Amino acid sequence: MQGTVDGFSYGLTTPVVAYLMACLGGALGLRCTTRSVRNRRSFKPGWLALGATAIGSGIWTMHFVAMMGFSVAEAPISYDRPITFASLAVAIVMVGIGIFIVGYRGATPMALVTGGTITGLGVASMHYLGMAGMRLQGRLEYDTLTVALSVVIAVVAATSALWAAVSIHGFMASLGASLVMGVAVSGMHYTGMAAVSVHLHSAGSAPAGDSPATLLAPLMVGPVIFLLLAGIVVMFDPLLVMGEPDWQRPADRREARPGVPAQRSTSSYAQPASWAADPAPRRGSALRGGLRRDHSHGERADREAFGRDSARSTDW
């Protein structure tokens, strides 16, 4: 017997809230990763770990907020606690592996492909492991092609997010990237849910596991509190909000603008930094100064000789 599946039991409420949670986690993760890459004085492992936890928590929270709107008309649904929270650990660990690869290797094609593939497979694993924690009087069946499409979407979204984390530096640009990331993650989730069909058992006992109401409090409160705390950290760190000031960037990291000559870096007292590193310009300056002094001395001697000549001619 096929069950009647409804993925939007609460209308647009659960999809919108789920999308916002994905955007929040993505925005925090992107800014933390950017902080670790752009500022060499920062504690890179700590910021990368914070970014991975933010993205993983945001995706996981998005998944289960959306699942609150999933229902089967003929059977009640509950969730197994250990499997549910195991999916959170999978999301954080797999996202962390991808972020650490890109964070230390940079936005090279190999690093992006490797990190994006691992992260995308981790997101897909989180989704389907969370689905495996669902308990109802029936079994879940999946369409293979739709599942494959959801995995592809997850890998592409993860690769794009990793590229944005190390390539996009402005706050507004990161905000736009997080919105796009939220669309991609939500699209992956609902594509995976479109592959689901429920085959109900004719008879059976009540499903094991916690009810949705019992699971809701620890499920949502912990990750949401973490995301809020991470958001406070971001708000009170000016480098995360505004990015690294241009005057603090090394000369070799400043962007070259077409048609504008590159500026020489200067040290203190407006003295070119290259003079301090190479004594040759100072020797050249001393030589030019000596030549100017010799020239001035010669002019003074000429004026004195002219004055003596003028005096003799007057006496004559």
Q: Which of 36-50, 79-93, 168-182, 275-289 has the lowest mean pLDDT?
A: 275-289
Q: Which residues on adjacent β-strands are paired with residue 138? A: 200
Burial of 61 (C-beta count, 10 Å sphere; 0-12/13-18/19+): buried
Question: Position 181: which residue type?
Answer: M
Q: Which of 53-62, 193-202, 289-298 has the lowest mean pLDDT?
A: 289-298
Q: Is the pLDDT of residue 251 over 80?
A: no
> Could you give the CA distance from residue 165 to residue 34 in angstroms, rounded to a whole number?
6
> Could you give the CA distance from residue 161 to residue 152 in angstroms, rounded to a whole number?
14
Half-sphere exposure in the Cβ direction for 79 (13 Å, CA): 23
The length of the chain, given as a count of residues: 316
pLDDT at 234: 65
pLDDT at 308: 57
Quick: pLDDT tens for 175-223: 888 888 888 899 999 999 999 999 888 655 545 555 555 565 566 677 7
Which residues have a Cβ under 8 Å from the Cβ of 113 and sit 6 or more positions away?
159
Half-sphere exposure in the Cβ direction for 180 (13 Å, CA): 17
Global pTM reads 0.70
Q: How far is the CA of 119 from the CAs of 53, 96, 215, in angstroms?
A: 13, 8, 26
Which residues have a Cβ under 8 Å from the Cβ of 287 and sit 6 or more positions away?
none
> Could you give the CA distance from residue 294 to residue 188 in angstroms, rounded to a whole number?
80
Question: Position 49: which residue type?
Answer: A
Residue among 256, 276, 277, 274 at smallest CA distance from 265: 274
